[in-house]
Amino acid sequence: MTHRFGILRRFRFNLPQRIAAGLLALFLVQGLWLTGHQTLTDRDYQYARCGRETWERPSALSGYFTTCGNIHDGILAYRMAGLPLTLNLLVEKGLDRFRKPEDRVFQDAGGEVRASDLSTWELRHQMPYVLLLLRLPFLLAGCVLGGCIWWVTRRLYGNLGGYTALSLYCFSPAVLRLCVAPNAEVLAALGVYGGVYTCIGVAHAMQGPRRKWRPRIVLLTVAFGVAAASHIAALPVVALLGLALMLWVAEGRRSQVLPVVLAAVAGALVMIFACYGFSPDAFSYAFRSQAGLLWFSLDPARRFFSTLGNAGITIAAGAALALYLGLRRSRYFGNTTPLICFAVLIVLVMTGAQGSPWLWALPFLVTFAGGVLADAYEGPRGRLAMAAGGAILVLQAVFCLLSLPGLL
């Protein structure tokens, strides 16, 4: 049996995977419900127009990447927003071959409207799913991030820890709002979370044969690239966090850690260059626009933990922190890593471009809560801990559902 089919054979979709898939399905349903109660906004128009321009044609303005200018606040978000619209437009062009002339979306060159003069925004009446198409890539990215959280927490903490972390994530109003609007935050959160834990995976692989390094380093480069193309400020953050954790883990191989991280960073820069269509001017503008400037503030943490919709997450985080400080058995690498990452990210604010680094911290917060509570589930009062954890998850789910429009 080849290695590729061996991997497929090892894949299992048993009860734990089904429960996780059910939670992600509930997350997707909530996102679609929110999308169904939204209307198109000026921000949607910007992402639709400029996102399509990144795929279909260069800017009509000489010297600029799009008519929005040289995008510096997350080129990947514009590309993801524009891709479904561009693909849908190509489908409409193909279907026009089978429509009556008067029913065609694109008129002949001799008609009143030329195809080259139309934009997705101007075709919104012929394309009734524009609002959904704009949001679907970000909602799917949120599902991928949830899958990453499940994969990490289940491997580290077992099924119950994975269920706890994934439930807190799937019923987070902040995450849902993040995933039902065109923005770069969910992509940056995916890149940072994936980059940190891939760094740890690479450090573990460095204890074994070199043939096991390569696929993990490629995955690390992709994660860094997603983070960097979402927000250029996310690249140094994830690279420094990953470097520190790799130095912690890679005993006996520490001299090789820095070259691995630098190679991944170089690959990430190449990915950004490709996202800018290999345009040197547009690519260089991301570094000349002060989009990577960061500062520190406690206001994001204060706003998050004082919001009623986050009550369950706040209680879970407080209980996890108390248990972490009080129980020696909970203070190990698997729990300490997400706590450190959360503490670093929650105080960051972007000053050079629009961004919300505190949202990048939420996956680490639910990972930390899931890990510490999983330790409590296995303690001498495990049943009591599981009852308390279940009550917290129900509370968070109720507050999240109550925040959805149209349910009451």
Rounded percentage of the chain residues whose pLDDT exceeds 90: 58
> Which comes out higher in pLDDT, residue 371 or 6?
371
pLDDT on residue 57: 74
DSSP lists the bridge partners of residue 296 as 348
In angstroms, what CA-CA distances link 293 with 16, 73, 151?
A: 42, 12, 32
pLDDT given for residue 1 in this prediction: 44
Q: Model confidence at 93, in pLDDT bands (50, 70, 90)? A: confident
Q: How far apart, in whole angstroms, are the C-alpha atoms of residue 379 and residue 329?
A: 10
pLDDT higher than 80, residue 59: no
SS3 at position 184: coil
pLDDT score recorded for residue 111? 45
3-state secondary structure of 69: strand
pLDDT tens-digit readout, 99-154: 777 667 666 554 444 444 555 555 555 566 888 999 999 999 999 999 999 999 99
- Cα–Cα distance measured from residue 294 to residue 313, given in angstroms and rounded to the nearest whole number: 26
- Nearest Cα neighbor of 186 from 176, 194, 195, 178 is 178
Residues 300 and 358 sit within 8 Å (Cβ to Cβ): yes
Task: Report the pLDDT value the prediction gives residue 112, as an integer from 0 to 100.
Answer: 44
Average pLDDT, the chain: 87
For residue 25, the model assigns a pLDDT of: 97
Does 24 score more than 90 pLDDT?
yes
CA distance 326 to 336: 14
Least confident piece of the model among 12-21, 38-47, 84-93, 372-381: 84-93
In the chain, what are the domain boundaries?
42-123, 138-182+293-408, 187-288
Q: Largest Cα–Cα distance in the chain? A: 80
Render pLDDT for 319-367 as a digit per residue (tens, 0 to 9): 999 999 998 989 999 999 999 999 999 999 988 778 889 999 999 999 9
Q: How many CB atoms lie within 10 A of CB 59?
A: 18
CA distance 46 to 74: 13
Give the pLDDT score at 369.
97
Going by pLDDT thresholds of 50, 70 and 90, the confidence category of residue 408 is low
Q: What is the C-alpha separation between 55 and 275, in angstroms, rounded?
A: 10
Q: Is the pLDDT of residue 7 over 80?
A: no
User: Quick check: 170 and 146 in contact, CB under 8 A?
Assistant: yes
The partner residues of 294 in beta bridges, in order of sequence, read: 350
Residue 273 or residue 408, greater confidence: 273
What pLDDT is recorded for position 124?
56
How do residues 162-176 score in pLDDT, each as one tens digit?
999 999 999 999 999
Residue 348: in which H helix or E strand, if any? strand 348-350
**CA distances, 49 to each of 45, 56, 289 (Å):** 6, 10, 22
Tens-place pLDDT, residues 186-220: 999 999 999 999 999 999 988 888 777 888 999 99
Residue 295 pairs in a beta bridge with 349
pLDDT at position 251: 83
Give mean pLDDT, residues 230-249: 94
Bridge partners of 69, per DSSP, are: 66
Give the tens place of pLDDT for each residue, 40-58: 888 888 888 888 888 887 6
Helix (H, G, I), strand (E, B) or coil at 131: helix
pLDDT for 48 equals 87
CA–CA dist 24, 144 (Å, integer): 9
Helix residue spans in 96-233 (DSSP H): 130-170, 173-179, 185-205, 213-230
